[in-house]
Structure 1
Amino acid sequence: MTVALTEAEPAPAAAPRQRRRRATGRLAVLPLLAFTGVAFGIPALAMLNGALTVKDPATGATSYSTANLSASLHGAYLTALIGSVKLSAVSAVLAAALGLPLAQTVVTSRFRALREAVLTAAGVLANFGGVPLAFAFVATLGNSGVLTRRLGLADKGWNLYSFWGLVIVYLYFLIPLMVLTITPALDGLRTQWREAARNNGATAFQYWRHVALPVLLPSLLGGLVLLFGSAFAAYATAAAMVGSAVPLVTLQIADAISGNVLVGQENVALALSLDMVLVAGLVMAVYLPLQRRSARWLA
Structure 2
Amino acid sequence: MGPALGLAPFLGYLAVFLLVPTIVVLVGAFSDNGRPSLNNIETLFSSGVLRTLWRSVLLSGSTAVIGAVLGALLAYAVVTGKPDGLLRRAVTSACGVLAQFGGVTLAFAFIATIGFSGVITERVRDTFGFDLFGDGWLFALPGLILVYTYFQIPLMVIVLLPTLDGMRPQWREASESLGATTWQFWRHVAGPLLFPAFLGSMLLLFANAFAAYATAAALVSQGNPILPLFIRSALTSEILLGRENLAYALALDMIVVVAIVMTAYALLLRRTAKWLT
TM over 0.5: yes
How many Å apart are 1:240 and its aligned residue?
Answer: 1.1
Residues 65-104 of structure 1 deviation map (CA, whole Å, 9 limit, x = unaligned): 1110111331322211111111000000010010111000
Q: Are the structure 2 counterparts of residues 39 and 206 from structure 1 closer, same or farther at C-alpha, using a change threshold of 3 Å?
A: same
Q: Are the structure 2 counterparts of residues 246 and 169 from structure 1 closer, same or farther at C-alpha, using a change threshold of 3 Å?
A: farther
* Aligned partners of 1:91 and 1:228 also within 8 Å: yes
Of residues 131, 136, 148, the one that matches 1:154 is 131
In the alignment, residue 274 of structure 2 is paired with which amino acid? Answer: R
How many Å apart are 1:53 and its aligned residue?
Answer: 1.0
Unaligned runs of 5+ in 2: none
* Structure 2 CA distance for aligned equivalents of residues 163 and 31 of structure 1: 41
The number of residues matched between the two structures is 271
Written as runs of structure 1 = structure 2, the 5 A alignment for 1:114-133 is 114-133=87-106
The answer to whether structure 1 residue 31 and structure 2 residue 9 are counterparts is yes
Unaligned runs of 5+ in 1: 1-22, 56-61
Q: 3-state DSSP class of the match of 2:42?
A: helix
Alignment partner, residue 257 of structure 1:
235
Q: Are the structure 2 counterparts of residues 151 and 200 from structure 1 closer, same or farther at C-alpha, using a change threshold of 3 Å?
A: farther
The answer to whether structure 1 residue 211 and structure 2 residue 189 are counterparts is yes
Larger Rg: 1
- % same residue: 47
Of residues 275, 278, 281, the one that matches 2:256 is 278
Of residues 192, 201, 213, the one that matches 1:235 is 213
Alignment partner, residue 178 of structure 1:
156
* Structure 1 CA distance for aligned equivalents of residues 200 and 9 of structure 2: 29
Give RMSD over aligned pairs.
1.8
In the alignment, residue 61 of structure 2 is paired with which amino acid? Answer: A
How many Å apart are 1:148 and its aligned residue?
Answer: 1.6
Residues 180-217 of structure 1 deviation map (CA, whole Å, 9 limit, x = unaligned): 00001001111111112222222222211211111011
* Structure 2 CA distance for aligned equivalents of residues 244 and 297 of structure 1: 48
Q: 3-state DSSP class of the match of 2:32?
A: strand
* Structure 2 CA distance for aligned equivalents of residues 72 and 260 of structure 1: 20
How many Å apart are 1:246 and its aligned residue?
Answer: 6.2
How many Å apart are 1:139 and its aligned residue?
Answer: 0.6
Residues 128-172 of structure 1 deviation map (CA, whole Å, 9 limit, x = unaligned): 000000000011011221112212352695832232221111111
Of residues 39, 48, 60, the one that matches 1:88 is 60
* Structure 2 CA distance for aligned equivalents of residues 131 and 231 of structure 1: 16
* Aligned partners of 1:221 and 1:290 also within 8 Å: yes
* Structure 2 CA distance for aligned equivalents of residues 271 and 147 of structure 1: 41
* Structure 2 CA distance for aligned equivalents of residues 156 and 143 of structure 1: 6
Q: Greater CA deviation, 77-86 or 224-233?
A: 77-86
In the alignment, residue 154 of structure 1 is paired with which amino acid? Answer: D
Q: Are the structure 2 counterparts of residues 150 and 223 from structure 1 closer, same or farther at C-alpha, using a change threshold of 3 Å?
A: same
With structure 1 as the length reference, what TM-score do the two structures score? 0.85
Q: Are the structure 2 counterparts of residues 156 and 198 from structure 1 closer, same or farther at C-alpha, using a change threshold of 3 Å?
A: farther
Q: 3-state DSSP class of the match of 2:244?
A: coil
Alignment partner, residue 139 of structure 1:
112
Of residues 139, 144, 148, the one that matches 1:166 is 144
With structure 2 as the length reference, what TM-score do the two structures score? 0.92
Q: 3-state DSSP class of the match of 1:244?
A: coil
How many Å apart are 1:263 and its aligned residue?
Answer: 4.0
